[in-house]
Structures are given as structure tokens and as C-alpha cells.
Structure 1
């Protein structure tokens, strides 16, 4: 007889109790606790969805942890905001969506105490970013949690960053770099300017606020000159606290490393592995090879080999190299520079798979069937020698019948088998139906002095997709092998879109006459069908961008809940340990699980420790993404600063009460049009229609509309642009939210193509 289903209250009480005890709780744990059978699990999944929709919980409960709405995980990256009246430090989550989740919980920082090792807890202060171990307080004295500082991630300097502008009397003023602070400058009196020169990037401390006029400040630190665009990335590096200077101990350790030999490795130097990378790549951490499978039991099959630089041979757990790599989390890519995760001695030398040079690697041999599905795979610790270094364009040209001196001799023997194997792998990918977005990937081409010369959309080649698909296969194989051996690891997970975001997508689709299905499981194929419906239409680019915004952000976790975008049940980053710490952890776990050496993941490593690492490197990734995006915005603003008064075509990429956000076609630059500058009418914000609508005229401006604008202001330091409208809006009946076009939209400009994101490649792109 089937057990009765528990009440909603019982489910919520169980979730609350488990979370207070510091245990992760998901659908599996709930089902086990209440003895639910297969039918009960289906009921539970539906109930958890309802609770999430009602705001009672957060997390879908399918695989990932579920917790009460507003509750926090046991380990959390936070920022110390202030001190209370008793002098105790008060923190808040570093990332918190006030719109979705209300005000962030207040966290009382526990005062430092001695641990068993007699080592004092880290001493934190206001402005610091800290990793906390949380305990639920149930609102004691207004605090939802107390937190013990596990590690200080970044010391707060209580600083404001800006550009110093010298005044004739020896004083100065600070032009803030934050877009939100534009127009709110600070005065720097004589004697408080330090060694700052006109045009320097400086950090200042506010000396005093005044009721009228700008505040006064003093220069704390001169960070460097930004008189040329080449130094624009300095702003992002300092404002986001990105470590960019290696410690002496780290550099000394890197220089002392000796090249790895054949000991403990299989000799694969005769295998014709090759690297295919961007033309300007300085390091090469992955190589590929493919050949028809000689096994008569696998007709039409292929053997694909993916070899990845063996960083774990040089970066040992607990070493200075390891500690700094974890602190950085990943390499950060700016248009004018790279802030690497590892010193060049490691990343550009010992671990770069250079042509005709012996290099240690961790390789996976994948046997594919004729339909592209994987028959089996195996991992090997090897010594390899790359046979050729190719760019994507070189490889593609050879396949297209235009080989050069390098690709001509290897076209038939190496390149054609690779493309044949990719052909069958692509069949399996198409059957899996991952999310397939089509958005332009713009690249800034810089002049020798660092200024932007032009903005281009690189062509999306089959060579890109080949490498991407082979990297995905290798990443899946790594996760499967570690799960088979019962090893802990760090997964790369991507949640399905939230109900709120799906409702917003439904509203956008309804505005162009498409109905979003409400029944059935949410799968990437749903989005692919929508994209196929609007392909070639005026709404194609708009819907690609809206669907991208609908997606959750991928993250690193120690407990798997799958990858929605790639439509994979298990996925781990394995293919780029030179630039991502997560991949280094996976390499070490494989070495330990396969007993392939003494430099694997230490046996004493716990799941709790990997949770902490996953939290840290996820935060480092978000930091890098923000810094890269802001630097691109600033460089494009520099590029357009001398084009004030010029007109451009673009599209409305966002609408709110304050005005319109416009993305230009040619450069991809984003700018703002204040609502107060749009005609002589009062424009009402219609949230459902994603539009501003004139109360008297009925003129409307809607998300996705084509526009012609004039650039009226550029603030390069902040990366901010302001436009004015030159074209007319749609006409609607005043008081109604439906819109009707007054004329055909402007023709769309050129586009580039990109899939859901590169797998383990060296340029940032959209991160899976």
C-alpha cells in the first residue's frame, strides 16, 4: 500500500531543520526521508515547483539543494558592510537580488576565537569580502545568521576609484569611474593630492561630506596613468580587486620547476596530436587527434583523443603556486592584456603544448559509434609531442580546399579524420538538442597604442565547433569517470530558468504573437523551437538576446544538479587547467582515482572543502566577467568619444521607467536615452508590454524596436554613453498596452553566429 503523501508544512519543516543543521537538502533527500515511491517523487517535484512559485522556497528541488526562501547556504561569500552599536561587524551576501528576494539577511560576524590549532581566526574589517560559515539565528536582535570567518577573500580599502584632474591652484578633483556616480565628483584640497598627476587612476578616501557641494577627499594611492586606452583595463583590475602581480614565492617556485619526463607516463609521442587555437593564442593547453575505429564490432566508428596539459605535474596541492591559483580562480582576458592564473613559466612554457616539443598531458581516448554516441572511454597520463600548431582559420581553409604550406602535408592524414569524427559527434549533439543561441560575438581590434581601431564580428567556423564538441565530450567523460570511482569533484552546473524569468519571456513572446507552452518539462529544445520559428525575421536578434537573459548563470558546485544549457546530466570542466582552477581540481581527482601518481587530490580532501573552493572560484569567475565587460564598455566609449553628434542605427535592448537602453548595430555599444528627453509627452512604463507609452500621443517605444539615434555624450572613464532619439515610435491607442507599428522597422544589420558558448577555450565568450 502506498504511503500517504506528507503535508506541505511537514516538507517545509524538514527543509528548515536540515538547513539549520548545515546539511544540503534536495528532492532525493526529501523523498528518502518520507519514504516516497516513484509516484510520490513525481508529486514531490510538482509540490516543490509550487512552493518555489509561491515564494516559500528557493531552488527547484530536482537535483540541486532546496532551502526556504531567503535562507542561505552553510558556506557563503559575503561582504562586511558595517559595525553595529556594540562594535560587532555586520555582513550581507555578496550577491543578492533585492528585486527577486527582498532585502538581504543581516549576518552577525562572530568575534575571532582560538581554534584547536591555536591559530587565531582571520581578522576582518568593514569592506572586506569574506568566506563565512553560517549558523541560523532565527532573527536574534535583527540578525538572521551569525557567521564565522573562514577566509578573507579581499581586504576592503574603503576606497573610491576615479581619475585625478589637476586644478591650477594645486588642488584637484576626482572623476568617478562608476557609471552610477557620474556627475558626483569629489574635491581634493591642496596637500591631499599625494603624488597624483593629471590623468592618473587613484583611490581616495572621503574626508568629509557637506550638505551643499561636492565632498572632500584625499588621495590614498596612485594606481597608474590612464592617458592611453592601453591602461583602461587597470580600472577594472583595481576596482574589482583582481590579483595581478604574482608573489615572489610563487614566481620563485615556478622558476624552480623541472620539466616532467617519461616516468609514470605512457609514451604517446608518435601519435599525431595537433593544436587548433585562435591565431593570437600564446599558450596551447589542448590537442586533438582522430582516426577510424579499427574494431570490426564498431563499423563507422571513430577514436577521438583529447590531450590536456598536465598542470597538476607542476602545481602541487598546498604549494605557493596552488594557493595563488586558487586566489585568482581563473585567468582574466582583457582586449589589451591577460591577467593569468599561473605564471608564464607554467602557462606559456612548461604546460603549453608546443609543436615538436615533449610535454606531459592527461589524455582521454573516446570511442564513438557511427551515430556519434560514446561506446566507451579511458584516461591516460602521457608524454606527447604536438605535430602541428594551427589556427582555426588555417584548419578551416585546408578543409575547404585551400591548404597552405603547413596544412597541405597533414590535410588527408590528420585533418580529414578529425572532420569525419566531428561529423558523427555532431549527430549525437543534434540529437541531444543543447541550447543553440545565435548571437554576434564582437571582438575589439586595437591599434599599437591600445586604442580601438575597429569592432569586428569574427566568422563562426566549423573548426570552432569541432574543438568545442570534442572538449564537451572530454568534460563529460571526466565527470563520468570520477563518479564511477566514487570520487568527489567540482561540477560545472547550469540551472534551468526560473519561473519568474519564464513568465517574462512569455510576455515578450506574446507581444510578437507567439504563445509559450505552459505544459511539459522545461528543456533546451523548447527554446530552440522558438528560435527556429523566428529565424530570419526582424525579431531574430531580439529573441536570441531575451532567451539568453532568461537563462540562469552557470556555476561551480560540489553537488551535481546537471547542465541545462548543454542538456547534460553530469558535466565537469577538465579541458583548461592552465586558466581555470576548477579544471585543476578535476585533473587531481582523476589522478587520485586512477592511481596515476602521487600528485593527485589529497585523500584527506573533504566535500566541505570542495564546496568552499567551488564558492570561491564561482565568485572569481563572476568578478572576471564583470571586469571584462566593463573594460570593453570603456574602450568602446573611448572609441566613440570623438564621434559626438554622429548618428547610429540600433535596437532597444532594455526598457524601464527611467528610459531606454539602446545597443548599436555596428559596435555593440550600449547607451541610455532618458525618458525625459523623448519628445514632449509623459511616457508611462508598461511593464507587461516592455514599453514606454506616451500618455497623450500614444507613441510607444518597445523592447526590440529598431531606432536611429544621435550620440550626445560619452564618458569613457565610466564606459557610459547617452543618446537622443531621431526616429519615431510606434503608435498605439492611449490607455492600451497593445502596440501597432506605424511603419516597417529598419532593416537588420549584419550578424555573426555563436552557439551556447566555447567549451574550455582561451577567450572568455559566454561562459557555460
Structure 2
């Protein structure tokens, strides 16, 4: 055993891999190889190294065998407390990596790991054995200058170390600047990562610098290339008579757009007339493909972005404003090119006939959700102002109610979580936070768009041509079983046969409505669902209980809609020949993946901005008291949600009147001596004790 370490490893490895070898413990190996007591530590180190590299395996009984431990490749997600998780594509459960097994992995790295155990049958534990590649190239953070060098403190707390910036690599950044740093070294266990500053976002106190920092952290594009902008200006010409040739002329149809007051990209208009007892519903969508040609600079940029991103102080559009707010926006009184889905709907809400056509339209009036709600509430002023549209609006509500009831009967699930509206002042400071109200007008548009999406998806499914669908898989059986076990504690039950049906989930949500546990069970049910995505195969939409579903109605802000508009138009014009079908078969799988990935990124960015602005807002209200509802109970404390959608944590150490224990079965905190309980749905009064904008956390204490 006096060779070099690598040679010793080879000797031991060859010995264990010998055909005559049987699994042995370290003592037995030492005896066979005649290793002295003094050298056994060396032998143990060699064996440990071979196991770590996955070349040999160690059984629970301490026996070493030949055969490679299965290596799993995934993405490393670091935690601020030093441990992390490896996320494996296609797997629902992450692998927990203890701090001592991180092995120098950096947030976002593609890594190989081996499973080291699953304590008590719980989450799998593993060890990182190789870093395949570093995925994160740039990091956003706050620059701090020293005499001859500087540091960048990352905004994202998953980057556990500051980044060292050598002299001359700071690009003129000063103390307090938010910057983008390009990594030149990822550091070691006892050495910081190193980098150079490539962009100065602005001073930490500059208006909008905080949101822009998140945008840069998620690597979202903020500017359009000059070539794309020039092309948008060139194609964005007014509609001419030549443009209208061969299109169905609907300019004399009464139609309106219904959107939020501050919306600028109006990509859908609606019309409704009666045809005997049936409704003739028109959903008219901006014909964006007329201006964004396939493979053009505009098209390539739109696919790269995948979607528009809506943040508290800005929109990062998929298409330049000259198009999205201009010729592609269905502005009232102006001729616009559209792709229309005109449906004849029975009094039972069934589409008994439909037509999809290239059209030219002229919207009569731009209406808002608030204005339409006032008409439906029969407010005299609104009835007078919109008197020409009142009969149509009232019929729209009638049809909307029919459609919603029909969807409900088939099992469509409605997770009615309130979205957050954040109002900012001119300096970007949050001055108000409140829930977005869904009213009768928003429901009308939602119901009509869903119907158009289903109608288009069904037609193109039966045409058997390449297409993009919006699909939502049946939930994983294990997740539903866990949910079923949990809700049994509250007296609820889900019938699961071969697979769960949407109607079972819908029934559960209606049973918990208005109960203290509604928020928690709704959230846990949502987490049990798969994520919706774009696919080339139509596998149905579980959440909507729909056999056929696509995204047809928003081509200004979603690339999948733009993509299927092209296919529809080629089909309408008789150009969907074998070559084009082959072309779409080839490109659509990658388009579906890109659009699904970009959607996830946009959602995450939007969520982080909301969390940050909520923390900033509550930071200005420290010491103030609010009435709230217990929305979650965990072993580390109770979560309380305020009426304005802000949620904060009352940490268990701040429950000072007793020692509290978490009862997992019933999600309660119970006082050891007093027997006092804190339950879901219980109203409590809280005081804001802390709020951290950088960590995006809010802490309460009971008042």
C-alpha cells in the first residue's frame, strides 16, 4: 500500500471487479489483501473515493461491491443555508443534497449526483459527484468598493458567496451601483467566485433599478435589436384596400373590445347577435402574422422572447410597440386585419356550427371591464353612455352564464386565487397593494376566449395537421394519494379509481369553499396538479375538463398563438401541402418547448417582482397592525394573509406566551402548557415586525 493514491485506487478497484470477488466489508478486504492496521485508514480513504466517484457501491450492511452506482444528471438549486436540491427533468421530486455533499456546486450548475439514501422513506438524499457544466454566466448584485478591489453582493440569495472584482474589472462602478457581473471563476470551497462587471444598471436608489435588476437576473431582453425595430416600422403600414382583398368584410358588424383601463395591446374583439334562438358569437383576433412573416427578424425575436412579460412598472413586449400598440392593436374606429372564429351557440351552450376566416373588421368602441360591469349593474350613467351597446352586452352576459354552467357540469376547475395589483408612484415606490377583482365583465371575455380556443383546437385536431395545443396532464397518482390522505384529516374525500377526474377536484373545491381550511386545501390541490404546457400532441386539458384546447386569442403577446395563426391561414388558403406539413412537423416540437420554457421564466420573474414590491411596501408599515387570516401552518411558524394579498410569517420563536408544537395531521400549532391552538382560517391581529426587500420576506408578530 505504498503506491500513489491513484495507483492504490486502481489496485483496489481491479480487486473488487475481479470475477471471483464477493461483497466484503473493509476488514475482510484488509485481511485478504494483508493490509496492516496502520494502513487501514489509507484503505478506507481509497474505498470512500471509489464510492464517491460511483465506481463501486456500498450496501447498507457496509459491504463493498463492483458495479457502478447510478449517476443522475440534473440542475442544482442552492439554498441560503448551505444545502441544496438537484432537480431532475421529468421527475416530480427533487433530490436533497446536504451541505457537506454539495461538492463545490454553484447555483444553476448541471451536475451528476448519486443517491446516498432516503431517511425514513422520506425525500431522496444524494451527493454531487461531478459538475457537468456551469449554466449561470452572469449575476446581478450590489457593488461595494474597497481600496484596490471590489465585491458584488448577489441579489439572488442562492448565490452563497460574494463575487470578487479585481482592480480594473469594475467598469467604473461606484459604491451602491446595481451591476451585472460576468463570472470568470466559480471559486472553490475556500475561495470566492471572481468576475468582471459588464453592465451598470443604475444606483440602488434609482427609480425602477430594483425591478430592472430582477429582469437582468432572469436574463430577459430589455431592448429590441435595431434590425427588428426597423422591420416593425416598415411593415406597420395602415390597412389598404389591397390588404382587404379576399377577406370576409365584417366592418359593419357591431363589435367592441373589452379590456383593463390601462391595456394598450388590444388583440381581441367580440361581437354577438341572435340567430333565431341561437347566439352568433364572433371572437375576432388581430392578424399579427400578416406583419410578422415566418423566419423574419421580427419572427425570430418573437420566438426568442416567447411571451410578453407584465411587471409592476413596465411591460417587456414580445413585439415592438409600433406593432403591438399600433397596427396589430384593434383600436376603435380603425380598419384592422383579423382572424375570426364565428360560432353559432345553442341555448345549452353547445357550438353547433362555426367558421374560421380571415377578416377585416372595425371596432365600434373600446370598452373597459369597469364600464361593462356598470352597464350590467344597470347604473343609469353607464346605460346612457353605452346605450347603443347595452342590448349586446346584456346578451353577452346571458351567454357567458350558460357557457360557465356548461363547463362546470363537465368538471372544469376554477382556482379563484386573487391576483395582486400593485400601484406605484412616479419614483417606483409601492403606494397601494390590493387584489385584482374578477367581475362579470372579465368573466365574459374569459368565457368567450375559452370557447374560441376549444373550437379552433377541435377543428384542427380532426384535420390531422401539425398544430400546437395547450395541454394539462392528469395529475400524478402519488400526488393525488398524498392529497387524499391529507384532506381526510379535515373530513374530505376524493374518489380515485384508475385516475382522478376533474369533477372530483371541482367537487372538493366547492366543499371547502368558505371554510377555514379553504386557502390551504386549494393551494395544496393546485400543487398536486401538473403544469400546463405547449405540446404537438393533443392530450386534453385536465383543469378545464376539455378534450381539445389551444391558445388562439393572444398573438400579440404569446408566440404559440402567432404560430397556429400561420398554420390556420395556410390551411384556409389551400397551401398546407406535404412540404409545409413536413416543415411544421419538424419545427413545432422545439417551438412548443421554447414557448413553455419562456412562459415559466416570465411567470417566475413576475412572481419575484410582486414579492419584492410587497416586502418594500410592508417595510414602510413596520409597527402597524392589521387583521388577517391564518393561511398556512408549518413547524417554523404560522403564515398570515392580509386582505390586500400580502402574506407574512409569524415565526414560532415569536409565539412567546407558550412553547408551541406543530401538529402535522391537522395543520395546527398547539401550546404545550396552555393548550391554545392556532388553526387555518382563524382570524388574528398581527403587527408588522420586519420586511426585507432583498430577501423578499415579510415577518409579523401577533398583536
TM class by smaller structure:
0.7 to 0.9
Q: Is residue 252 from structure 1 mapped to residue 230 from structure 2 by the alignment?
A: yes
Looking at structure 2, the residues matched to 413 and 574 of structure 1 have their Cα atoms a distance apart, in angstroms, of: 27
Looking at structure 2, the residues matched to 601 and 713 of structure 1 have their Cα atoms a distance apart, in angstroms, of: 62
Where does residue 561 of structure 1 map in the other structure? 539
**Residue 395 of structure 1 contacts residue 407 of structure 1 at CA under 8 Å; is this kept in 2?**
no
Alignment of 1:38-77 (within 5 A): none
Where does residue 668 of structure 1 map in the other structure? 645
Deviations 1:52-73 (A, max 9, x none): xxxxxxxxxxxxxxxxxx999x
Where does residue 366 of structure 1 map in the other structure? 343
What is the Cα deviation at residue 196 of structure 1? 1.9
Q: Is residue 233 from structure 1 mapped to residue 211 from structure 2 by the alignment?
A: yes
Deviations 1:452-508 (A, max 9, x none): 111122332111111111101110111122123221111001122222332332244
**Residue 107 of structure 2 contacts residue 158 of structure 2 at CA under 8 Å; is this kept in 1?**
no
Select the residue among 298, 310, 315 that pairs with 1:321.
298
Looking at structure 1, the residues matched to 522 and 331 of structure 2 have their Cα atoms a distance apart, in angstroms, of: 38
Where does residue 12 of structure 2 map in the other structure? none
Deviations 1:230-273 (A, max 9, x none): 33221221111112211111111111113442123121111112
Deviations 1:145-187 (A, max 9, x none): xx9x9xxxxx9562332122456x58655343224458x6556
Q: Is residue 312 from structure 1 mapped to residue 292 from structure 2 by the alignment?
A: no
Where does residue 574 of structure 1 map in the other structure? 552
What is the Cα deviation at residue 602 of structure 1? 4.0
**Residue 589 of structure 1 contacts residue 601 of structure 1 at CA under 8 Å; is this kept in 2?**
no
Higher RCO (C-alpha under 8 Å, 6+ residues apart):
1
- Residue 93 of structure 2 aligns to a residue in which SS? helix
**Residue 591 of structure 1 contacts residue 601 of structure 1 at CA under 8 Å; is this kept in 2?**
no
**Residue 163 of structure 1 contacts residue 175 of structure 1 at CA under 8 Å; is this kept in 2?**
yes
**Residue 301 of structure 1 contacts residue 367 of structure 1 at CA under 8 Å; is this kept in 2?**
yes
TM-score (norm 2): 0.75
Where does residue 27 of structure 2 map in the other structure? none
Where does residue 390 of structure 1 map in the other structure? 367
Looking at structure 2, the residues matched to 395 and 689 of structure 1 have their Cα atoms a distance apart, in angstroms, of: 44
- Which is further off, 646-655 or 471-480? 646-655
What is the Cα deviation at residue 606 of structure 1? 3.8
- Residue 244 of structure 2 aligns to a residue in which SS? coil
Alignment of 1:461-500 (within 5 A): 461-500=439-478
What is the Cα deviation at residue 195 of structure 1? 2.0
Where does residue 535 of structure 1 map in the other structure? 513
Q: Is residue 289 from structure 1 mapped to residue 271 from structure 2 by the alignment?
A: yes
What is the Cα deviation at residue 225 of structure 1? 3.2
CA spacing shift, 1:311–1:143, aligned 2, 3 Å: farther
CA spacing shift, 1:396–1:650, aligned 2, 3 Å: closer
Alignment of 1:25-424 (within 5 A): 99=93, 158-165=137-144, 173-180=151-158, 185=162, 192-204=169-181, 205=183, 219-228=197-206, 230-257=208-235, 258-260=237-239, 261-294=243-276, 300-402=277-379, 403-404=381-382, 407-424=385-402
**Residue 291 of structure 1 contacts residue 421 of structure 1 at CA under 8 Å; is this kept in 2?**
no
- Residue 643 of structure 1 aligns to a residue in which SS? coil
TM-score (norm 1): 0.69
Looking at structure 2, the residues matched to 396 and 599 of structure 1 have their Cα atoms a distance apart, in angstroms, of: 47
Looking at structure 2, the residues matched to 335 and 607 of structure 1 have their Cα atoms a distance apart, in angstroms, of: 38
Where does residue 8 of structure 1 map in the other structure? none
CA spacing shift, 1:581–1:406, aligned 2, 3 Å: farther
Unaligned runs of 5+ in 1: 1-69, 82-91, 104-125, 131-141, 150-154, 295-299, 728-768
Looking at structure 2, the residues matched to 617 and 661 of structure 1 have their Cα atoms a distance apart, in angstroms, of: 37
Where does residue 726 of structure 1 map in the other structure? 702
Looking at structure 2, the residues matched to 560 and 71 of structure 1 have their Cα atoms a distance apart, in angstroms, of: 33
Looking at structure 1, the residues matched to 573 and 188 of structure 2 have their Cα atoms a distance apart, in angstroms, of: 66
Where does residue 56 of structure 2 map in the other structure? none
**Residue 485 of structure 1 contacts residue 593 of structure 1 at CA under 8 Å; is this kept in 2?**
no
Where does residue 115 of structure 1 map in the other structure? none
- Which is further off, 565-574 or 480-489? 480-489
**Residue 534 of structure 1 contacts residue 540 of structure 1 at CA under 8 Å; is this kept in 2?**
yes
Unaligned runs of 5+ in 2: 1-69, 78-85, 98-105, 111-126
Looking at structure 2, the residues matched to 599 and 166 of structure 1 have their Cα atoms a distance apart, in angstroms, of: 63
CA spacing shift, 1:665–1:197, aligned 2, 3 Å: same
Looking at structure 2, the residues matched to 616 and 129 of structure 1 have their Cα atoms a distance apart, in angstroms, of: 20
Q: Is residue 586 from structure 1 mapped to residue 558 from structure 2 by the alignment?
A: no
CA spacing shift, 1:165–1:410, aligned 2, 3 Å: farther
What is the Cα deviation at residue 661 of structure 1? 6.0
Select the residue among 674, 684, 694 that pairs with 1:717.
694
CA spacing shift, 1:715–1:423, aligned 2, 3 Å: closer
Q: Is residue 551 from structure 1 mapped to residue 551 from structure 2 by the alignment?
A: no
**Cα RMSD between the aligned structures?**
3.8
Deviations 1:421-479 (A, max 9, x none): 33433342333331123322221122222211111223321111111111011101111
Where does residue 612 of structure 1 map in the other structure? 590
Looking at structure 2, the residues matched to 687 and 608 of structure 1 have their Cα atoms a distance apart, in angstroms, of: 50
- Which is further off, 607-616 or 401-410? 401-410
Deviations 1:359-388 (A, max 9, x none): 000001100111111101111101110011
What is the Cα deviation at residue 649 of structure 1? 4.2
- Residue 99 of structure 1 aligns to a residue in which SS? coil
Higher helix share: 2
Looking at structure 1, the residues matched to 482 and 507 of structure 2 have their Cα atoms a distance apart, in angstroms, of: 18
Looking at structure 2, the residues matched to 703 and 180 of structure 1 have their Cα atoms a distance apart, in angstroms, of: 30
CA spacing shift, 1:412–1:569, aligned 2, 3 Å: same
